[in-house]
Amino acid sequence: MWILCWARWTGKLDGQNELIVFGEGIIKGLAVTARNLVGSYTDKERLVTVQYPEERVPISENARQFPFLVFDGEDAVKGLRCVACQICEKECPPQCIYIVKDSVRKPDAAGKMQFQPRVFEIDYSVCMSCQICVEVCPFDAIKMDVNYEFGTTDRFGGLLLTKTQLSKPNGYFQQIHPVEAAEVDGRLAADRAKAEAKARADAEAKAKAAAAIVKPEGKA
Ligand code: SF4
Ligand code: SF4
């Protein structure tokens, strides 16, 4: 059977005979396969195949498939974190993101006036799951999904996902990537608290300045 596997004696090496076994790696590999094959009947850890789609392997937290848009709160439109800065669109290597910025600003989930994308589409048939869009987004608005079940017979329309299809709540992000989501939530909460404190301080300073102007006029 394994013709490639044979042994031969070579000349002396430091006074000792050296044995060279050709095909040793193949034998070791087959031994591992045989151990897993036999072991899979008794040890579930050795069973590397499952009866998909009835059975599924748990998805690792680090898994990544395609990007999706995160929104805060209950309203997918109002809570969308994306401010249509278009950085991801420019940085995407295969250019599979298409964004059209809205012409008016709207209040976001924190009440701050922001632009939003009127159109945000990703062509999943072109996306190579590199995650660059996620890394360059300054607003934690786009994250990688773990869902891989996008089989379709419609090669173009079926894999061109729209803003509505891409938008998913932060709760979903927390569920699929709990560690990363906790870090992002903490950072965003701190940023928002800082922004609110600054807005309060600015308002107080403005009110004081206005009072200082009004006072002399009242006296007069
Ligand atoms: S994961 Fe990569 S290829 Fe896919 S949309 Fe993001 S940047 Fe583009
Ligand atoms: S997902 Fe992020 S990088 Fe892309 S347009 Fe929206 S805010 Fe900008």
pLDDT in tens, 106-161: 887 777 888 999 999 999 999 999 999 999 999 999 999 999 999 999 988 899 99
Q: Are residues 149 and 105 in the same domain?
A: yes
CA atoms of 104 and 88, how far apart (whole Å): 21
pTM of the model: 0.77
Contact present, 75 and 178 (Cβ < 8 Å):
no
Which pLDDT score is estimated for 220?
A: 44
Contact present, 144 and 129 (Cβ < 8 Å):
yes
Atom of ligand 1 nearest to the CA of 129: 1
Residue ranges making up the domain that contains 135: 67-180
Q: How big is the chain by its Cα radius of gyration, in Å?
A: 30
Q: Flag the least confident range among 4-13, 68-77, 154-163.
A: 4-13
Protein residues whose CB sits closer than 6 Å to any atom of ligand 1: 67, 92-94, 96-97, 122, 127-133
216 within domain boundaries: no
Q: How far is CA 65 from CA 76, 157, 178, in A?
A: 22, 19, 16
C-alpha 151 – ligand 1 centre gap (Å): 19
Q: Are residues 117 and 30 in the same domain?
A: no
Percent of the chain whose predicted confidence (pLDDT) is above 90: 58
Q: Is 82 in the pocket of ligand 2 (CB under 6 A)?
A: yes
Q: Are residues 72 and 145 in the same domain?
A: yes
Task: Give the ligand with the smallest distance to the CA of 108.
Answer: 2
C-alpha 58 – ligand 2 centre gap (Å): 30
210 within domain boundaries: no
